[in-house]
Amino acid sequence: MLQLSWAGLRDRWTSFAGAVLTVCLGVALVQSSLLLLLASATADAPAGSGPVAQVRFEEARVVAVTVLAVTLALAAFLAVFVIASTFAFTVDQRRRDLALLRLVGAGRRQVVRLLLGEALLLGVLGSLAGSALGTGVVRVQTWLMVRVGLLPAGAGARWHAWVLPACVGVGTALALAGVFLAARRAARVRPLEALDAEEEPARVMTRGRWTTGVLLGAGAVVLLALSPLGGPAGGRAMAVCVSLLAALALAVLAPVAVPALAGALVPRGGVLGDLARANLRDEVRRSASTAAPLIVLVGLLLGQSGAAWSYTEAAVAQLRSTTAADLVVESTADADGALAQRLSAVPGVGSASSEVELPAALTTGSGETAFTGIRRVLVVDPGAYERAHPTSGSLQALRGAAVAAGPGALESSTGDRVGVRVGQVDLGPLPVVAAVPQAVGGGPALLLPAGLLPAELLQGSAVRTFVQLQGGSDRRQVAAALTAAGGRGARVSDVQDWLARSAQQAGSSDTSILVVVMGLGASYALIGVVNAGVVATAARRREFATARASGLTRRQVVGSAVLETWAVSGAGLLLGALAAAGTLAAVLIATASATGTASIDLPWPLVAAVVTGAFAVTGATSAWTAWSATRTAPVQLLRARE
């Protein structure tokens, strides 16, 4: 049996190399994300940093850990998906060989054992290589994270002894799991299939597959329907999951959806088009395997980034409509805490709301259920805040030792008590006496009345002051006076400019996070696509030879293969876009119900990059594999019937 495995490996090395590669890259990516996650989850603030700096470090760490956790989850998800489908595909490509073994006396269990044995070998090989490669990937990932400011410069992952066995174990288990179902299916192959001139198009859509696909699709629809009810935060989480479920559903249903759609994409009339269309009809599994990673990639990428962009847009629109100010002063809090008074006292200023955003440790619940998390709080002058944000409702009760639920409150509402600690100042449990409406873009969890925190604690923090001008005052003059009163580094902007600038900033930080989370995953998914192409072409030598023997030139054969692949890629991209459309629809509904106007915005450069990238990669793979598969003269292949 082992000899047979070995002989099989030697002969079908391209498909097996592809399988090893997917395990290798998947393991490398997962291992790298895991090590970075561990490193940043256990990192300590630089020695000698002050209490507020420490909380800020803590806060940055939470963001880094979140991004890394999402990357890890995505990497793991893609690894499971790509490894399982690649291994299943390599098995499905060998039905005839396996039928032949059955014909000369192999039992079903022997077939399963043979395939699992191979998967074990490939899984171990791939995982070992992946673990080694992971030490390189971790550098790339660290560099990316540092570059976009999610990790401090000099951050790095430490190697843990248990990582290697864990990675080998998981990589191998994934390979085995991927093969298992396919092996069981393959073991049921009828011995007579060894005699079929053509590989029998196996029944791809089993009842289990239909059920899974339909359930996932139904899940996406249900989430889409529920998303308006989830509130700003819950709605967003649901919207993001819609494309995840929809992409999976479409990937599972790819054997039905892809050939139909791809067939419609091939131009009619030409002989190459006809050939490509016929192949699409016959080679359902090949088309599905190529398109599935694309569906998942595009669904996730477009869905996630579309949601991020649209929510940023919605948040800015909401901020614009709920802010009543003419100018915004950005400055630094001073030691005496008198900045707010100085700005209010500038001639021509009607009202000025100075707001300082600080990270704080908030404790909700008590006793057993107490939970402490790092959130942002906003120190405000309640009266001025009401005037600058007219939709906030009354903050009259916000006086003395009390807090109000802020625009980003998640877990507290009027009547609760929340423990507040900023740096080393512990304010103890404070009653929540008021609440402002929640904002689409989130924001501080609590509003603290000015005076609750000592001025020296706020010193050095950024202060944002929304200024309303008195009627008839000169905007330029007031702005100049405010700049002078704001102290060193003060910057006065028109409120519209400030809104545009903060929107851009929010957008670019979303992009950075997305690049880190999606970039590596996307490359991995593309490799899955390349792989499916390589594996598929390994089995196409005879088919190509037949086509050439029937009068096609080598160039035409390659052209037809590329045409077919592009049609499949196009179908994959469209289906991925369909999955993403689910999320975008949910975003539209959710933002409309939260802000009154629906917002949608897409990162078009990213979309363009994915589309051209997908076509370039699949086209090049297809051309290259078809070209090398047609290197031998057709007669030679047709004569040696193997």
Partner 1 sequence: MPTNALAPTTAAVSLRAVSKTYGSGPTAVRAVDQVDLDLATGTWTAVMGPSGSGKSTLLNCAAGLERVDSGRVLLGGTDITDADDETLTRLRRTRVGFIFQSFNLVASLSAAQNVELPLRLAGKRPPRADVREALRAVGLAERADHRPRQLSGGQQQRVAIARALITRPQVLFADEPTGALDSSAARGVLDLLRAAADGGQSVVMVTHDPAAAARADATVLVRDGRVEDRVVGADAVTVAARLAAMGA
Q: Which residues bind partner 1 (CB under 8 A)?
A: 1, 3-4, 7-8, 10-12, 97, 100-108, 110, 190-192, 194-195, 197, 640-642
Minimal distance, residue 84 CB to partner 1, in Å: 25
Minimal distance, residue 125 CB to partner 1, in Å: 18
- DSSP-assigned states of every residue in 352-385: EEEEEEEEEEEEES-GGG-EEEEEEEEEE-HHHH
Minimal distance, residue 197 CB to partner 1, in Å: 8
Cα 89 from Cα 183, distance rounded (Å): 10
Minimal distance, residue 543 CB to partner 1, in Å: 16
Cβ proximity to partner 1, 4 vs 148, nearer residue: 4
Q: Which of 82, 5, 129, 19 has its CA nearest to residue 534? A: 19
Cβ proximity to partner 1, 59 vs 193, nearer residue: 193
Minimal distance, residue 206 CB to partner 1, in Å: 19
Mark residue 269 as left, alpha or beta (left: phi above 0; alpha: psi -120 to 50; beta: remaining).
left
**Residues contacting residue 498 through CB under 8 Å, at least 6 positions apart:** 328, 330
CB burial string 485-501: b at 16+ within 10 A, e below: bbeeebebeebeebbee
Cβ proximity to partner 1, 12 vs 185, nearer residue: 12
Angle (nearest 5°) at CA 217 between 212 and 220: 130
Cβ proximity to partner 1, 7 vs 222, nearer residue: 7
**Residue 400: exposure state from Cβ atoms within 10 A (0-12, 13-18, ≥19):** exposed
Minimal distance, residue 184 CB to partner 1, in Å: 13
Bridge partners of 448? 379
Q: What's the distance, CA 301 to chain centroid?
A: 6
**Residue 52: exposure state from Cβ atoms within 10 A (0-12, 13-18, ≥19):** buried
Minimal distance, residue 188 CB to partner 1, in Å: 9
Cβ proximity to partner 1, 107 vs 454, nearer residue: 107
Cβ proximity to partner 1, 47 vs 197, nearer residue: 197
Write a three-state SS string for 577-613: HHHHHHHHHHHHHHHHHHHCCCCCCCCHHHHHHHHHH
Cβ proximity to partner 1, 108 vs 387, nearer residue: 108
Minimal distance, residue 546 CB to partner 1, in Å: 15
Cβ proximity to partner 1, 207 vs 641, nearer residue: 641
Minimal distance, residue 516 CB to partner 1, in Å: 44
Cβ proximity to partner 1, 3 vs 369, nearer residue: 3
Residue 413's CB is within 10 A of a number of other CB atoms, namely 10
Cα 576 from Cα 584, distance rounded (Å): 12
**Residues contacting residue 586 through CB under 8 Å, at least 6 positions apart:** 223, 224, 227, 235, 238, 239, 242
Minimal distance, residue 106 CB to partner 1, in Å: 5
Cβ proximity to partner 1, 106 vs 458, nearer residue: 106
